[in-house]
Chain A
C-alpha cells in the first residue's frame, strides 16, 4: 500500500465518524495548547523578571559584611568575633579604581516618621547621590541627595510617593520638616510612584544621606555597599579589586561576601526555567491522557470495524499493512490535533500578551517541538495496542462480525 493511499484511507476513516474524530482532536489539541501556552507564560515571566534585573544594571556588585560560608577557621571566627563592619572608608577605598563607575554605601532600618501628629513606621534608607543612578530611581518633585562628602550628615530626606501621600496628603512637601526617629529633617524630593525596585517598595521608602542614617541608627557600619562596574567584561577584575582592597583594610581577612548581579540573575533564570519545565511537564501529562483516550477510542473503533479489517485481509492486506493503516490514523489525529493545539496555544499567548503587554508570551521553539513530539509519540505508542489487535484479527471471524 502506498503511503498516499494509507493517509487518504485514514482520513476517510476519520471523516466517516465525525463526532469520535472531533473528540479525539479536541483532547489532543487541548494537550498541545496547554503545553505551548504554559511554557509561553512561564518563559514570558522568566524574561520579564530577568529583564527587570538587567534594568538594574548587570554590572552591579554588592558587598555584604560577613562571609556567606559558615565554616571557615579564621582566627576571628575562632575567638567568636562578629565580622568587622563595613565602613564608609571601606566604600571610599573601593571607589578608588578605574574599574568602578560609581559606589553607593547603604544603610537601612525602620523608624517612625512624624509630621503634625501623623506618624507611621517607614523603612529609612541611608545612601549617597549615586544611589539614584544605580537603582534607576526617578523623582517626581525636588532633587535627590546632594552630591557632597559622604560624611556630612545633612538632615534632609527624599520621600517615597506613598509616604508622601500619607504624611502630607495633597499639600506641598518640599522644604517642609518631618521628624525621623527624633531628628528633624527637611524634605528635598519626592520619588516617582513608578514601580518597585527589586528588594524594596520604593513607594514606601524614605531616603536620607548615609551619614545621617548612621547617626539615626547610631552605627558606623554599613548594611552593604553597591558598586557599579565600568563594564561587564571587567567584572571579575573588579571583584578581585574589591576583595583585596577590603582585605587590606581588614588586616588580611576576607570577611565580606561579594555578590554580582550576574549570579543572582543566573540563579533566578535557573529557577524560573525549571519552573517552566515543570509546568510544561504537567501539561504534557494531559497530552498523554489524550493519548490514552485515543487508545480507548481506537479499541472501540477496531471493534466496530472488524468486518472492514477482515475484508482488507481477505483482499490481500498483510498484518503489517493493517497495523500501518491504524497507526497512520492515530498519527493523523496527532498531527491535526497538534496543529490545532498550536494554533489555539499561540492565539492564547497572543491574547495574554494583549492583556499584559509587559509579558512576552511567545512560546519558545523547544516547547513547540516538544509538544508536537509528545503528541506524535503518544499517538504512536497508544495506537500500537489497538492496531496490533486489529492486525491479529482472524479474517473469517472478523468478516462474520464475531
Chain B
C-alpha cells in the first residue's frame, strides 16, 4: 500500500546541502509490522515524515494506495493524513489544556465530526486502552505511559490504515515502554500497518521486518 521509489530529500543548511534521504526505495504492504533503526541523524524521522505526508520529497514518487501523493495540495494532504495516517510521537504532543478525552477526539474535531459522535467513538477506545478513570484528566495529571496511551488513542481514533511511531518509547521507562509496544502490536494484529522508528534493538528485533537506515540510504532490509 505504501510504495516509495527513488525518494530524495535534501535540506539546505547554511548554504550546504544535507542529504537526509538518498534515493530510497521502500514498499510496505497492508498490515505489515516494520521497524526502522539506524544511527542518529541517519534520516529515520525524515523517512517516517515522508511516509506520513508531513514532509514532501524533493524527487521520487510516493504511491499511497496506488495514488501518487507527492503533488497533492494542502487540503488533500490534510484530508489524506486525517483518514489514513496515525502519528505517535516521542514527546506525546498532547495539548496541555485539554482533557484526555478532548485530546483523543482532536482529530475528529478537526475533521468536523459533531461532539456526540466524537464521544460515541472515543468512549470505547478510552475503556479498551485502560484510561477509563482518567478520561477527564489533563496530560500533566497522567503518567508518561498513560500520556502515550492517550496519544495512541488519538492516533487511532480515525481508524487509519497506517500507524507511524517515531521513538514512541524514547521518553518512557522500560516497563511502560514495553506496555506501549504491546499495545501497538495488538493494534497491528487488528490489521493496521505499523511502522516504528526506534533506537532500542530489543524493540527493533520484535518487528516482523527490520529496515536499517544509514546516511539517508537503506542499508539493510530483513523482508520485503
Q: Which residues of A contact B (CB under 8 A)?
A: 1-2, 4-5, 9, 12-13, 15-16, 307-308, 310-321, 395-396, 399
Interface check B111, CB cutoff 8 A: yes
- Contact across chains for A315 and B154 when beta carbons are under 8 A apart: yes
Partner of B97, one of A1, A13, A321: A13
- Contact across chains for B49 and A315 when beta carbons are under 8 A apart: no
Q: How far is the CA of A316 from the CA of B105 in the complex (A)?
A: 12
Given the complex, which residues of B lie within 8 Å of A311, measured CB to CB? 93, 95, 106
- Contact across chains for A2 and B112 when beta carbons are under 8 A apart: yes
Considering only CB atoms, which chain B residue lies closest to A401 in the complex? B91
Q: How far is the CA of A4 from the CA of B54 in the complex (A)?
A: 27
Q: How far is the CA of A1 from the CA of B114 in the complex (A)?
A: 9
Q: How far is the CA of A9 from the CA of B74 in the complex (A)?
A: 22
State whether A5 and B109 are in contact (beta carbons under 8 Å apart), knowing that A311-B95, A396-B49 are contacts in the complex: yes
State whether A16 and B97 are in contact (beta carbons under 8 Å apart), knowing that A315-B82, A316-B79 are contacts in the complex: yes
Interface check B43, CB cutoff 8 A: no
Write the nearest CB–CB distance from B28 to chain A, whole angstroms.
19
State whether A318 and B78 are in contact (beta carbons under 8 Å apart), knowing that A307-B93, A396-B54 are contacts in the complex: yes
81-99 of chain B: CB within 8 A of chain A: 81-83, 87, 89, 93, 95-98
Given the complex, which residues of B lie within 8 Å of A12, measured CB to CB? 97-98
Q: How far is the CA of A316 from the CA of B109 in the complex (A)?
A: 10
Q: List, sorted by A's number, 16 A–B pairs whose CB atoms are closer than 8 Å.
A: A1-B110, A1-B112, A2-B109, A2-B114, A310-B93, A311-B95, A313-B54, A315-B82, A315-B106, A315-B107, A315-B154, A316-B79, A316-B110, A318-B75, A319-B78, A396-B45
Write the nearest CB–CB distance from B59 to chain A, whole angstroms.
18
Q: Is the interface of A mostly helix, strand, loop or mixed?
A: helix
Given the complex, which residues of A lie within 8 Å of B54, measured CB to CB? 313-314, 395-396
Interface check B221, CB cutoff 8 A: no
Given the complex, which residues of B lie within 8 Å of A308, measured CB to CB? 95
Write the nearest CB–CB distance from A392 to chain B, whole angstroms.
10
How many A-B pairs fall under 8 Å by CB? 68
Q: Mark B44-58, 1 if CB is under 8 A from A, else 0.
A: 010001001011000
Write the nearest CB–CB distance from A299 to chain B, whole angstroms.
20
Given the complex, which residues of A lie within 8 Å of B52, measured CB to CB? 314
Given the complex, which residues of A lie within 8 Å of B87, measured CB to CB? 314-315
Considering only CB atoms, which chain A residue lies closest to B45 in the complex? A396
Q: How far is the CA of A318 from the CA of B78 in the complex (A)?
A: 5
For this complex, into which size category does the number of interface residues on chain B fall?
20 to 34
Q: Which residues of B contact A (CB under 8 A)?
A: 45, 49, 52, 54-55, 74-75, 78-79, 81-83, 87, 89, 93, 95-98, 106-107, 109-112, 114-115, 154, 158
- Contact across chains for A315 and B97 when beta carbons are under 8 A apart: no
Write the nearest CB–CB distance from A328 to chain B, whole angstroms.
13
- Contact across chains for A319 and B93 when beta carbons are under 8 A apart: no
Considering only CB atoms, which chain B residue lies closest to A15 in the complex? B97
Q: How far is the CA of A314 from the CA of B78 in the complex (A)?
A: 8
- Contact across chains for A312 and B97 when beta carbons are under 8 A apart: no
State whether A319 and B74 are in contact (beta carbons under 8 Å apart), knowing that A311-B93, A311-B95 are contacts in the complex: yes
Given the complex, which residues of A lie within 8 Å of B45, measured CB to CB? 396
Given the complex, which residues of A lie within 8 Å of B81, measured CB to CB? 314-316
Write the nearest CB–CB distance from B158 to chain A, whole angstroms.
8
Considering only CB atoms, which chain B residue lies closest to A305 in the complex? B95
Write the nearest CB–CB distance from A216 to chain B, whole angstroms.
86
- Contact across chains for A1 and B109 when beta carbons are under 8 A apart: yes
Given the complex, which residues of B lie within 8 Å of A13, measured CB to CB? 97
Given the complex, which residues of A lie within 8 Å of B83, measured CB to CB? 316
Given the complex, which residues of A lie within 8 Å of B55, measured CB to CB? 396
Considering only CB atoms, which chain A residue lies closest to B81 in the complex? A316
Considering only CB atoms, which chain A residue lies closest to B46 in the complex? A396
- Contact across chains for A318 and B74 when beta carbons are under 8 A apart: yes
Partner of A317, one of B49, B110, B115: B110
Write the nearest CB–CB distance from A390 to chain B, whole angstroms.
14
Given the complex, which residues of B lie within 8 Å of A16, measured CB to CB? 96-97
Considering only CB atoms, which chain A residue lies closest to B98 in the complex? A12
Considering only CB atoms, which chain A residue lies closest to B48 in the complex? A396
10 further contact pairs, Cβ within 8 A, besides A308-B95, A313-B54: A1-B112, A5-B112, A15-B97, A307-B93, A315-B81, A315-B110, A316-B81, A316-B82, A318-B74, A319-B78
Q: How far is the CA of A307 from the CA of B107 in the complex (A)?
A: 15
Q: Which of A307, A316, A319 has the most C-beta atoms of chain B within 10 angstroms of its own C-beta?
A: A316
Write the nearest CB–CB distance from B43 to chain A, whole angstroms.
13
Considering only CB atoms, which chain B residue lies closest to A308 in the complex? B95
Q: How far is the CA of A15 from the CA of B107 in the complex (A)?
A: 21
- Contact across chains for B106 and A312 when beta carbons are under 8 A apart: yes
Q: How far is the CA of A318 from the CA of B154 in the complex (A)?
A: 18
Given the complex, which residues of A lie within 8 Å of B49, measured CB to CB? 396
Write the nearest CB–CB distance from A324 to chain B, whole angstroms.
11
Given the complex, which residues of A lie within 8 Å of B78, measured CB to CB? 313, 316-319, 321
Given the complex, which residues of B lie within 8 Å of A313, measured CB to CB? 54, 78
Q: How far is the CA of A350 from the CA of B112 in the complex (A)?
A: 45
- Contact across chains for B89 and A9 when beta carbons are under 8 A apart: no
